[in-house]
Chains A and B, each alone.
Chain A
Amino acid sequence: MALVDERVAHGHADAHHHELGFWQKYVFSQDHKVIGIQYGFTALCFLLFGFSLMMMMRWSIAYPNTPIPLVGKLLKASGGIIVPELYNQLGAMHGTIMVFLGIVPLAVGAFGNYIVPLQIGAPDMAFPKLNMASYWSYFIGGVIMLSSFFAPGGAAQSGWTSYPPLSDIAPTGQTMWLFGMLFLIISSVLGSMNFLVTIIQLRAPGLTWMRLPFFVWAQFVTSFLLLLAFPALQAAAVLQMMDRLAGTSFFLPSGLVVSGQQLQVAGGGSPLLWQHLFWFLAHPEVYVLILPAFGIVAEVIANNTRKPLWGYRSMVYAVTFLGFMSFIVWAHHMFMTGMGTVMSTFFQTTTMIISIPSVIVLTALIISLWGASIRFTVPMLFALAFLPMFAIGGLTGLPLGLAPSDIHLHDTYYVIGHFHYVVAPGTIFAMFAGIYYWFPKLTGRKMSELLGKIHFWPSFLFINGIFFPMLIQGLAGVQRRLYDGGASYSHAQPVLHWNAFMSVSAWLLGLAQIPFIFNLFWSIWKGAKVGANPWDATTLEWAAAPSPPIAHGNFVEIPTVHRGPYDYSLPGAATDFTPQHQLQEA
């Protein structure tokens, strides 16, 4: 109660500069908590939308050239059939939306924004105005991307990788893709710069680097990747924009023939250049997707095992090393481009090396479970599911990282299976863990455990039903990006029956999200009320701030940190958790 009284008193004392109008409070807010929620809500909407595009694609794969039910009415021109051109748009936009508008904004924009300042004991981000600009730049980028569906010729359709020369000569939707991407890149650069300054400058007194929660470390390395890798795509986007709008031929080789006609351009460009620039971003981007997931899972596991993370330091060193290495592995996406065996050897070696830090982190998390009395809460279920799912995703990546086996697996469904195991049951499950774990911090209420379990178990089942058969199909040589799922290829016939199975799994996975959506909204108003620290956690965001934290300032007073992040079950302590800002072992 003392805490609440203090809050009220504090609120009165500061009332003169906290009185903001509706627009400044909820729309153009500069409070990292509101911006975090804006990011989270927008990103979840994009995730749902990107997932819906995929559910449409799965219809075409399972039942090609047949009218799609429900949404088919929207496709009047083709009589409800998903034609290959539309399929390409859906594919390109599914990838773009999920990666750039869904997961990164959720993992970094939402979780990073809301949690990082709280975990380091800061009153806000270092640059609140830039933070707001970052969100709105992301929002504009998203609007441009979405509106490209209504452009003549439809949305971008050259894959999420936008490989030229196809993308150079694609309809207007591709130009909008590039413009949208520029806004998203600006948003990322502003955001990551802000995170880095916040973490370096605004740590509470006593919060040394090795006392930072692992989540903060993960966000720290992630921000470096965003800051330094994204400009390569920015450069590439500028060059492609020049190709499309000013008639240059950066990515168009001489003598290119399109539809039987030689293209009237100067030529002399290099399609490979795009691939280098794109993957220079997009490989670190994969770690941008996975590192925050590592961070969330580490927090949830430490809290629910009630013991310190095993090997905290080695995990920190591992992610730092991983950050550096991620800049020199990009061309393992390009083994088949004919860049030469010397290049391939170099990049497959670095790729094998970069698998080591991921294994260190995963191993440390698994050993952390050893001998623990685990609380099987909903966030913990998702965090535990993350471990084997990410392991499958990671291990299936090894054959792709080796040039000889990649020759066989390249561009098959095996690649799709591998990548999605990392990102869907990997990262997205970690995001769910994070949402269930930190929801009480945002609202002062807990999400329903029962609905959470109803959400978890079917999701876990169906998501494997989608992605595991992809590995089987890919090993059999079924190519990706086929609107009929391989029906026209004889070598695909023996594994073709999996298509319907995977599609049904995908639709059931969609249904399995309904309890989550319901739970999310219902719990805002009707969830069980909880105190400031319902999980008995040690880190500052739970132990030192009320739930929800104070608008503009977070803490009643900035805490002083006296210990590491995971002092659970200290021998002789009164409780099984000792908060970071607690001086004596009570």
Chain B
Amino acid sequence: MEIPYTVEARPDTGVFNAKLGVWLFLASEVMLFGALFSSYVLLRTGAPAGTWHHGREFLNVPLATLNTIILIASSVTMVMSWASLKLNDFKKYRIYMGLTLLAGVGFLIVKGFEYGHKFEVGLLPKTNTFLAIYFTLTGLHGLHVIGGMIVNGYFLGPGAKLFKTQPERFTNRVEVAGLYWHFVDLVWIFLFPTLYLL
């Protein structure tokens, strides 16, 4: 017996299973990053006056701004890839999904430069508590980016075969992957000001 509502929405809830699932998963992710942001706030407000180090002492704001632009752009291309599937334009889907993936790679390269520079000048997680929370938050976010890229890469490559047999199901999958990708983008939009600017 087939599991119902894998493709079409359940009438009374208005969603298909995976969409509800990914929203619940994102709720859990909000709690994870929320807990880490709260830890950051608690550590910072709890530090004796004058002992807290600020991001602007160590961090490269222009590079992070570039990364913010890259990630926001990738969110746009992600939506476009889904929209192309909705319009049944598989070629355009591949282009937009490819661009999304490329943006992810670009983000990681920039991040890699930032990390590399910090390590070179001896700024490590153990140096002070600001750098500790900086590396933890951006590191965990980086892992989320990599996770999203693996999923997107799968849908660009071997996973795309599904479009030939079940186009609607494949479109749903891309939509769900997109929700996750937007979330990863959103986390960065919170990380950028709190770590680099404040």
The CA-CA distance from A202 to B13 in the complex, in Å, is: 11
Q: Chain A residues with Cβ under 8 A from B42's Cβ?
A: 270, 273, 276
Q: Are A235 and B127 closer than 8 Å at their CB atoms?
A: no
Contact, CB under 8 Å: A250 / B43: yes
Q: Which residue of B lies closest to A190 (CB)?
A: B25
Asked if B29 is an interface residue, CB under 8 A from chain A, the answer is yes
User: Chain A: which residue is nearest B35 at the CB level?
Assistant: A235
CB neighbors of B among A222-253 (8 A): 227-232, 234-236, 238-239, 242, 246-250
Within the assembled complex, what's the spacing in Å between the Cα atoms of A36 and B40? 39
The reply to whether A236 and B21 form a contact with Cβ atoms under 8 Å apart is no
A154 at the interface (CB under 8 A from B): no
A126: CB under 8 A from chain B?
A: yes
Give min CB distance, A272 to chain B, whole Å. 8
CA distance A239 to B132 in the complex (A): 9
Pick out which of these stretches binds chain B: A82-90, A306-314, A548-556, A565-573.
Answer: A548-556
Partner-contacting stretch, out of A56-64, A261-269, A478-486: A261-269
- Asked if residues B136 and A126 are in contact (CB atoms below 8 Å), the reply is no
Which of these, B10, B25, B27, B132, contacts A201 with CB under 8 Å?
B10
Interface residue? A200 (CB, 8 A): yes
Which A345-394 residues have C-beta < 8 A from chain B?
none
A123 at the interface (CB under 8 A from B): yes
Q: How far is the CA of A126 from the CA of B10 in the complex (A)?
A: 13
The reply to whether the CB of B63 lies closer than 8 angstroms to some CB of chain A is no
Known: A202-B4, A273-B39, A554-B1. A227 touches B21 (CB 8 A): no
Task: Take A231-B32, A232-B35 as given contacts and tell me if A249 and B129 are in contact as well, using a CB distance cutoff of 8 Å.
Answer: yes
Contact A193 B28 (CB under 8 A): yes
**Alpha-carbon separation in the docked complex, A355 to B18 (Å):** 36
> Would you list which residues of chain A between 265 and 287 have a CB under 8 Å from chain B?
265-266, 268-270, 273, 276-277, 280
A265 to B131: give the CA distance in the assembly, Å.
13
With the chains together, A247 CA to B128 CA distance in Å? 10
Contacts of B66 in A (CB 8 A): none
| CB-CB contacts below 8 Å: A3-56 with B | 14
B49 close to chain A: CB less than 8 A: no
- The yes or no answer to A128 lying at the interface (CB within 8 A) is yes
Q: Are B28 and A231 in contact (CB under 8 A)?
A: yes
Chain A contact residues (Cβ within 8 angstroms of B): what range? 35 or more
With contact pairs A126-B3, A553-B1 given, residues A197 and B24 touching in the complex (Cβ less than 8 Å): yes
B154 CB to closest chain A CB (Å) equals: 14
Closest to B47 in A: A268
B132 contact from A124, A229, A249, Cβ within 8 A: A249
Judge whether A250 and B129 touch: CB under 8 Å.
yes
Selected from B17, B32, B34, B39, the residue in CB contact (under 8 A) with A126 is: B17
> A269–B27 contact, CB under 8 A?
no
Question: Are A128 and B3 in contact, with the CB atoms below 8 A?
Answer: yes
Which B residues from 101 to 128 make CB contacts under 8 A with A? 124-128
Please state if B35 and A236 are interface contacts (CB–CB under 8 Å): yes
B43–A269 touching, CB < 8 Å: yes
A498 within 8 Å of B (CB atoms): no
Residue pair A194, B125 in contact (C-beta under 8 Å): no
C-alpha spacing A273/B4, complex, angstroms: 44
> Do B39 and A235 touch (CB < 8 A)?
yes
Contacting residues, chain B, for A554 (C-beta < 8 A): 1
Give A288 Cβ to nearest chain B Cβ, in Å: 14
- Is residue A196 within 8 Å, beta carbon to beta carbon, of the partner chain? yes
B5 within 8 Å of A (CB atoms): yes
A558 to B3, CA, bound (A): 11
State whether the Cβ of B2 lies closer than 8 Å to any Cβ in chain A: yes
Contacts of A189 in B (CB 8 A): 25, 28
Q: State whether B31 touches A228 (Cβ < 8 A).
A: yes
Question: CA separation between A277 and B132, bound complex, in Å?
Answer: 17
B interface footprint on A159-196 (CB within 8 Å = 1, 0 otherwise): 00000000000000000000000000000010011101
B140 at the interface (CB under 8 A from A): yes
Chain A residues closer than 8 Å to B20, beta-carbon distance: 196-197, 200-201
The answer to whether A535 has its CB under 8 Å from any CB of chain B is no
Return the chain B residue nearest A556 by Cβ: B1
Measured CA separation A472–B132 after assembly (Å):
46
- Contact between B31 and A232 (Cβ–Cβ < 8 Å)? yes
Q: Within the assembled complex, what's the spacing in Å between the Cα atoms of A192 and B20?
A: 13
Q: Which A residues touch B28, using CB under 8 A?
A: 189, 193, 227-228, 230-231
B126 in contact with A201 (CB, 8 Å): no
Contact present for A231 and B1 (CB under 8 Å): no
Q: Let me know if A127 is at the binding interface, CB within 8 A.
A: yes
Distance of A231 Cα from B1 Cα, bound (Å): 34
5 contacts between A and B (CB under 8 A): A123-B1, A126-B21, A127-B17, A194-B21, A248-B125
B residues neighboring A (CB under 8 Å): 1-5, 10, 13, 15, 17-18, 20-21, 24-25, 27-29, 31-32, 34-36, 39, 42-43, 46-47, 51, 124-129, 132-133, 135-136, 140
Known pairs A123-B1, A201-B10, A277-B39 / 7 extra A-B pairs, C-beta < 8 Å: A14-B1, A123-B3, A124-B3, A248-B129, A250-B43, A268-B128, A269-B129
Q: Which residues of A contact B (CB under 8 A)?
A: 14, 122-124, 126-128, 189, 192-194, 196-197, 200-202, 227-232, 234-236, 238-239, 242, 246-250, 265-266, 268-270, 273, 276-277, 280, 552-555, 558
- List the 7 closest A-B pairs by CB distance, nearest first: A247-B126, A553-B1, A235-B35, A248-B132, A231-B32, A231-B31, A123-B1
